[in-house]
Amino acid sequence: MTDIYRAIADPIRRKILLMTSQREYNQSEIVHSFSISQPAIKKHLSILLEENLLEERREGKFCYYKLNESVFHLHFKQLQQELGIILEQKLMNLKNFLEEDDHR
């Protein structure tokens, strides 16, 4: 199961996801888009690959990356549901608190 929270926790990984949602990039192009080292970018790409949010294609000595849209959309929907449940519970707690305060 993809840990979407792990994948989107870092702003660099979020930017990589945004970039690769537009088109396919090779590793060198991704590295040049950031002011951090190639090994650091490779670590971020590895995490996104582990979480199955990126698809990797090899062509010769180059690796190309693009967003795995089906996996991303599935986990985005699950994230929305989880956040909806949390917000609904918070609103219910607030309603109960306000109703208790009215009865005092």
Residue 60 CA, chain-centre distance (Å), reads: 29
pLDDT at 104: 66
pLDDT at 1 over 80: no
Domain that holds residue 45: 4-102
Indicate which CATH number applies to the domain containing 96. Answer: 1.10.10.10
Domains identified in the chain, total number: 1
Per-residue pLDDT tens digits for 48-103 = 999 999 999 999 999 999 999 999 999 889 888 988 999 999 999 888 888 887 77
Contact 11, 52 (CB under 8 A): no
């192009």: which residue's tokens? 29
